[in-house]
């Protein structure tokens, strides 16, 4: 499987690694020679230093065999045209364009180009968190590698009335603190959980959603398939 990423600067480093770990051969097209130099030094990807909205460049980067094209430059018109060329000229089955201007996301949809906007993705994440009324606080720690969530157990929580050791939390998640009235406890398996308890959960981003669901019973954190 081949994936093409157009633009995005050095911030696509982790995206490239992620795609590579899922079995994609990744090629990057970027106009900035400095970005290209750095990416090719640190990643086992093919790097083409050119305009990714040019049909010749796309072909050279392997668009004909690509399964996926992501256009994430800072210019919405470039992203749109790159995706349209990829799908219409080279038959790429899946494309997505970044809409830097969130309003343009709507226009891209009208034109049949799947799009996403950072403002919307982040906004919907915040909304999902906020829509769970029991969550009072979410903060990233360890440079975004860890999420600390504070929440209050409701009456209908599936874990209320259970011992901590009876609760099936996903891997890499932890109830770090339990606050009950004036009492603050670092809980162990033998501690029970009750409605009204305030918990501080520590999770990794991957299992943040499952951990919250396990504790609240509600569905959250399902969106954002970017």
Partner 1 sequence: MRRNRYVVVAGCGRLGSGIAARLSASGDSVVIIDREESAFAGLPPEFSGFRIEGDASRLSVLKAAKVDEADFLIAATGSDNVNLMAAQVAKRTFGVARVLARVYDPTKEKMYSGLGIVTVCPTSTAAEMFFRVMTEEPSGRGEASL
List interacting residues with partner 1 (CB under 8 A). 53-56, 75-78, 80-81, 84-85, 88-89, 101, 103-104, 106-107, 110-111
**Residue labelled with tokens 């970005």:** 35
- For partner 1, give the closer residue by CB, 32 or 89: 89
- For partner 1, give the closer residue by CB, 4 or 16: 4
Dihedral sign (CA 186, 192, 198, 203): positive
Pairing mode of beta strands 25-30, 46-49:
parallel
Distance of closest approach, residue 89 Cβ to partner 1, in angstroms: 6
Distance of closest approach, residue 56 Cβ to partner 1, in angstroms: 8
- Strand, coil or helix: what is 65? helix
Distance of closest approach, residue 116 Cβ to partner 1, in angstroms: 16
- For partner 1, give the closer residue by CB, 30 or 197: 30
Give the separation between CA 65 and CA 3, rounded to whole angstroms.
Answer: 9
Distance of closest approach, residue 7 Cβ to partner 1, in angstroms: 12
Contact status, residue 215 vs residue 157, Cβ threshold 8 Å: yes
């Amino acid at each position: 499987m081949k994936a093409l990423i157009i633009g995005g600067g050095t911030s696509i480093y982790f995206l490239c690694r992620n795609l590579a770990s899922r079995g994609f051969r990744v090629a990057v097209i970027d106009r900035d020679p400095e970005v290209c130099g750095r990416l090719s030094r640190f990643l086992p990807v093919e790097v083409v230093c050119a305009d990714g909205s040019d049909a010749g460049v796309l072909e050279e980067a392997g668009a004909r065999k690509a399964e996926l094209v992501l256009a994430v430059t800072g210019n919405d018109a470039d992203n749109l045209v790159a995706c349209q060329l990829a799908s219409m000229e080279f038959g790429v089955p899946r494309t997505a364009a970044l809409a830097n201007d969130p309003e343009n996301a709507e226009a891209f949809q009208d034109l049949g180009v799947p799009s996403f906007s950072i403002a919307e993705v982040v906004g919907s994440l915040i909304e999902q968190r906020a829509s769970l009324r029991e969550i009072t606080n979410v903060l990233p720690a360890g440079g975004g590698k860890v999420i600390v969530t504070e929440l209050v157990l409701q009456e209908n929580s599936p874990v209320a009335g259970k011992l901590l050791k009876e609760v099936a939390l996903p891997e890499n998640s932890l109830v770090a603190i339990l606050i009950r009235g004036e009492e603050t406890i670092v809980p162990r398996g033998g501690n029970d959980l009750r409605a009204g308890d305030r918990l501080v959960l520590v999770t990794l981003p991957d299992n943040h959603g499952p951990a919250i669901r396990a504790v609240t019973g509600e569905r959250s954190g399902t969106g954002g398939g970017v």
